[in-house]
Structure 1
Amino acid sequence: MINTGQVTKENVDRNAWLAVAEKIGQIAEAESREADQNGRFSPKVAEAILEGGINKLMRPKQYGGTFVDLRTFTDIVRTVAKHSVAASWLTNFYAVHDIWPSYLPPKGRDVVLGHNGLIADVVAPLGRAEKDGDGYRLFGQWNFASGVLWSDYVGLGSMIDITGEGPEYCIAVVSTSDPDVKIIENWDTLGLRSTGSNGIHVDGAYIPEHLLVPAKYLFEIGKPMGGDYDPEDPVYRMPFMQLFLVGFPATALGAMERLIGIFKERTEKRIRVFNGGTQEKNAAGSQRLLAEMNIQYRAAEGLLNRYIEILEEWQAEGKTVVGDEERAEIYSIRAQVARMAADMALKVILTLGGTSIFKGDPVELFTRDVIAFASHPTNLWEDAMSAYGRTQFGGPAHPVW
């Protein structure tokens, strides 16, 4: 909620950012049904994100970044999610996709972050590369490239031998205008359809050394290649992956808030013709469910607050590499909030029944989007909980999340 206390510069900035988020959400909601059918938003959503400066929220200040506090950032994501889970997905990703380029060598940072365009990525290491002079030729196909339709650059996970000692996990940067880079129109999914998260095929695109970053700089070293950065910049004071994914539980919370609101509004007006014309708002089952969902929402909110508090502590310390149990707790928080949102969506659509199953109905659309959201590997409940439990017995965390 917007702080309505003493007026400060921070409050004014916060209100301005939330107004941008509200505008993005309204644009997305207005075309949500058509975008779901088409498998993509119109360019208006990406344009609103770009014009509002959301894409610069996680960019280093050296490149025009306007880093806000984590609570404001997650509230921006939540605000959009109340209108559209898919638009929140893009809003979050277009901001955090500026984090990994911050670890490129200085020349690469100048190229990728030295413009005001949008960036996509697929970090799964699916590509291969061949040495070509001072650079490499990249080959492979990647799916799930969220935001690629409106992006200028894409970071692609690849296994590349850069030391002569064998391939290692890297992120290579390609331009979407490169003739060796093709977008594959294969996005036909259960949910999050409006994100247009199509595939990308690369057939020998040239990757100069400055557009290549070994993943160890992100996960193990915690500092960018080549120096020349401000260690006091917030982007460089938290572990990459945990900062990169902070918007995920915020998206879930925004969806939960909207679902609760719809359920309450429809239940208040609902007459059960097969139950003797009774008013559903007087039914104990619906009353209990509304109460349960509100409590679940507050519990999920508490988990997000825990996530933010941990990141804030690490930011104060400048802690960019963390231990297995610390990573596992963060992963379990994301997964738990995603599962709570998915469970809530199913309860809402099952309880409201026939009034919510028509194609394009907000409940039907939110339910499909939330299920797809919860299926993302960074939200998988079984993986997260087993990893967190394992670390508490001295075992390893998940290798990535």
Structure 2
Amino acid sequence: MTLTTEPVRTDAQKAELSAELVRRAEALAQFVADGAAETERRGSVSAEAIEAFIDAGFFKILVPQSYGGYELGVDTMARVVRAIAPSCASTAWVLAFYIGHNWLHALFPEKSQDEVFGERSFALTPGTFAPSFTLTPTDGGYLASGRSSWNSGSAAAEWFMNGGLVKTEGQPPSLLFFLAPRSDVEVIENWDVAGLRGTASHDLALDQVFIPEHRTVDAASVMNGTSPGAALHDNPLYAMPVMPFIVGEILPVAVGTLRGAADEFTRVTQNRYLSDGSGATSKQSLRIAIGRGDAAAALADSMLETYLDMLGNTPTSELQQTIVRGRLKAEGAMITDFCATGVNQLVAAAGANGFRNSSPMQRYFRDINMMRGHATLDSERATESYGDVMLGLTPKAPV
């Protein structure tokens, strides 16, 4: 193990560091908001924003202390992301994945962590876990071929993390998660979508790329919280099953998007005039929308905090139970649906002006509705899977 350890912190010192990181995120929120429209036009988060996040220490939040990280909790990551999300959902989305995938790096074998964390204690890593690649066994590892989609943050990537099927004659395929450095992959710049347009979620292709054994990990062990990293690091954080973690990673983007829409709607309405010359706040329906939007955003924050509290205070052995994982995934998806409904109501109340490209309202609308289609946040699939587990059936989607 390459040791670049951070000092051991007391609980009080960890809490102060966590609060400081959130303050840094809040201080960067206006900078992110000022660049939100350009982030969309460019299709990626700016290099300046990435550097600001590096300087703020965000990408070290979940990295083990033994590799120079802060080894804080999912709640710190979520609150940092939540602070950025009202300004630009695309930027917050990439930030969330970059922070969270450093936690995923900590689940791989030790030699892989030495490689990834050795230079500066973190990496910028997009990727997806869908079994998009074929892994053919060879001496010392595998040859990877295939193509994957939805690699958020590809523009600044240093590594890519994906899923691959190992097919052995006479046996069912096994799923591995694997790592490939940016130099070994072909990034296909095809991110042309309606929402989350600034995330650079491009496709990537691999053609017979060698993947050393140590850059792979059994997918089931990651899903269940029994990965090599869970044995290497004492902190139960690294024995957390992956699905509840992923919900905690991206849910604050949805919650922050609703807050951004509520605040923008209030601002616009206070400065808007109706056709008869009266102020828009004289219209009852708009006052109702202001009140409903702000209350909904506050409620969404409360639901997020409840989720984070459950995640942080539920024993690992309980989190590893399928029924608990299914419930947490379903709850996260339903909170996202709540946020999307709130944004959609506000955009409808904003009228036609809310759909001008100059209005952030249309961006909140497009982003939240793109978000709710994410495989983890799809409420119908998540609640169906939870229902399957409750009935003793095998869920059709991973929990």
TM-score, length of structure 1 as denominator length: 0.89
Tell me which stretches of 4 or more aligned residues in structure 1 moved more than 6 Å: none
Distance 1:131 1:12 in 2: 47
State the shift of 1:203 in Å.
0.9
Aligned counterparts, 1:107-118, within 5 A: 107-116=111-120, 117-118=123-124
Other-structure match for 1:356: 354
Would the aligned equivalents of 1:186 and 1:198 in 2 still touch at CA under 8 Å? yes
Distance 1:213 1:64 in 2: 22
State the shift of 1:161 in Å.
4.3
1:223 aligns to 2:221 (yes or no)? no
Q: Which amino acid aligns with 1:245?
A: V
Would the aligned equivalents of 1:25 and 1:87 in 2 still touch at CA under 8 Å? no
Other-structure match for 2:384: 386
SS at match of 1:191: coil
State the shift of 1:138 in Å.
0.5
1:146 aligns to 2:152 (yes or no)? yes
Q: 1:255 aligns with which of 257, 260, 263?
A: 257
1:281 aligns to 2:281 (yes or no)? yes
SS at match of 2:214: helix
1:207 aligns to 2:211 (yes or no)? yes
Q: Which stretch has the larger CA shift, 9-18 or 48-57? A: 9-18
Q: Which amino acid aligns with 1:224?
A: S
Q: Which amino acid aligns with 2:289?
A: L
Q: Which stretch has the larger CA shift, 299-308 or 142-151? A: 299-308
State the shift of 1:350 in Å.
1.7
Distance 1:112 1:166 in 2: 31
Would the aligned equivalents of 1:145 and 1:200 in 2 still touch at CA under 8 Å? yes
Other-structure match for 2:238: 236
Q: Which stretch has the larger CA shift, 63-72 or 9-18? A: 9-18
> Does the C-alpha gap of structure 1 residues 163 and 97 become closer, same or farther in structure 2, counting only changes over 3 Å?
farther
State the shift of 1:263 in Å.
1.2
Other-structure match for 2:31: 27
SS at match of 2:317: coil
Would the aligned equivalents of 1:134 and 1:209 in 2 still touch at CA under 8 Å? yes
SS at match of 1:188: coil
Q: 2:143 aligns with which of 137, 145, 152?
A: 137
1:71 aligns to 2:75 (yes or no)? yes
SS at match of 1:136: strand
Percent identity among equivalent residues?
A: 23
Would the aligned equivalents of 1:240 and 1:320 in 2 still touch at CA under 8 Å? no
> Does the C-alpha gap of structure 1 residues 366 and 226 become closer, same or farther in structure 2, counting only changes over 3 Å?
closer
State the shift of 1:54 in Å.
1.1
Distance 1:382 1:228 in 2: 35
SS at match of 1:103: coil
TM-score, length of structure 2 as denominator length: 0.89
> Does the C-alpha gap of structure 1 residues 114 and 80 become closer, same or farther in structure 2, counting only changes over 3 Å?
same
Distance 2:16 2:259 in 1: 24
State the shift of 1:162 in Å.
7.7
Other-structure match for 1:190: 194
Q: Which amino acid aligns with 2:30?
A: Q
State the shift of 1:9 in Å.
4.2
Q: CA offsets, 1:154-190, max 9 Å, x none? A: 1111101489844211111101012xx1110100011
Other-structure match for 1:3: none
Other-structure match for 1:4: none
Aligned counterparts, 1:329-368, within 5 A: 329-368=327-366
Q: Which stretch has the larger CA shift, 168-177 or 114-123? A: 114-123
Would the aligned equivalents of 2:385 and 2:396 in 1 still touch at CA under 8 Å? yes
SS at match of 2:63: coil
Would the aligned equivalents of 2:77 and 2:99 in 1 still touch at CA under 8 Å? no
Would the aligned equivalents of 1:152 and 1:176 in 2 still touch at CA under 8 Å? yes
SS at match of 1:154: strand
> Does the C-alpha gap of structure 1 residues 122 and 280 become closer, same or farther in structure 2, counting only changes over 3 Å?
same
Q: Which amino acid aligns with 2:271?
A: K
SS at match of 1:248: helix
State the shift of 1:192 in Å.
0.7
Would the aligned equivalents of 2:262 and 2:343 in 1 still touch at CA under 8 Å? no
Aligned residues: 386
State the shift of 1:340 in Å.
1.8
Q: CA offsets, 1:243-289, max 9 Å, x none? A: 2330322112211111111111222222210xx33332122212222
Q: CA offsets, 1:268-327, max 9 Å, x none? A: 222210xx333321222122222222332233233222311221223xx33375223211
> Does the C-alpha gap of structure 1 residues 101 and 372 become closer, same or farther in structure 2, counting only changes over 3 Å?
same
Distance 1:224 1:10 in 2: 25
State the shift of 1:370 in Å.
1.4
Tell me, which stretches of 5 or more residues in structure 1 are unaligned?
1-7
Tell me, which stretches of 5 or more residues in structure 2 are unaligned?
1-11
Q: Which stretch has the larger CA shift, 358-367 or 317-326? A: 317-326
SS at match of 1:332: helix
Would the aligned equivalents of 2:107 and 2:228 in 1 still touch at CA under 8 Å? yes
Distance 2:28 2:142 in 1: 39
Q: Which amino acid aligns with 2:397?
A: P
Distance 1:310 1:394 in 2: 23
